[in-house]
């Protein structure tokens, strides 16, 4: 099976969909951020704080290649992975890239739920979260939109919707 890269904004459902694809099709699944955290013994946020974003992005670039070449299967990228270096071109050359396109409203609802696990967002109120999405998503969308396949990720919020989305993805790949 070719390598499948799941890309999209934070909380768009990359890990949810990747885990379902692993369960349904028996494919290998790697969450790139989790892989980096295990390898470094630090959380992504700790890496940013201690080593800086540039060091993290270089780790991310190298790890993307390592996981592609040594593990393969389905890879959930970090939200910023496609936006740095030649990562998007690399992914398109080595597999299929699927962009999980989530509406701003749905992203806001998900981030409200999960913001406690994201230090950059945990202290933001709802208006600040909305502003954060409005400011950062448009900078990433040009990269995300280069994906081979773009799917609506809003249904991933419910178990039924997630299952239907996973079935559709399996039919596409």
Q: What is the pLDDT of residues 109-147, one digit of tens each?
A: 999 998 887 767 888 999 999 999 999 999 999 999 999
In this structure, whether the domain defined by 3-167 belongs to CATH 3.40.50.720 is answered with no
Question: Which residues contact residue 123 at a Cβ distance below 8 angstroms, ignoring those fewer than 6 apart?
Answer: none
Task: Give the number of other CB atoms < 10 A from CB of residue 148.
Answer: 15
149-152 sheet: strands from edge to edge: 29-31, 74-76, 3-7, 95-101, 149-152
The beta strands (E) that lie in 18-120 are given as 29-31, 74-76, 95-101
Q: What is the pLDDT of residues 35-81, one digit of tens each?
A: 999 999 999 889 988 999 999 999 999 999 999 999 999 999 999 99
Structure tokens at 41: 């013994």
């Amino acid at each position: 099976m070719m390598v499948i890269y799941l890309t999209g904004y934070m909380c768009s459902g990359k890990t949810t969909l990747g885990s379902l694809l692993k369960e349904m099709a028996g494919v290998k699944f790697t969450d790139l951020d989790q892989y980096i955290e295990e390898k470094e013994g630090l959380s992504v946020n700790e890496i940013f704080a201690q080593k800086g974003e540039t060091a993290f992005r270089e780790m991310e670039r190298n790890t993307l290649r390592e996981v592609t070449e040594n593990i393969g299967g389905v890879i959930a990228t970090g939200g910023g992975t496609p936006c740095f270096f030649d990562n998007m071109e690399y992914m398109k050359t080595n597999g299929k890239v699927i962009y999980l396109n989530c509406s701003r409203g749905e992203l806001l609802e998900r981030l409200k739920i999960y913001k406690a696990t994201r230090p950059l967002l945990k202290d933001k109120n709802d208006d600040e979260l909305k502003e954060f999405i409005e400011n950062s998503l448009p900078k990433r969308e040009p990269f995300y939109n280069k994906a081979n396949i773009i799917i609506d990720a809003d249904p991933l919020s419910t178990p039924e919707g997630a299952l239907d989305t996973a079935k559709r993805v399996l039919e596409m790949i």
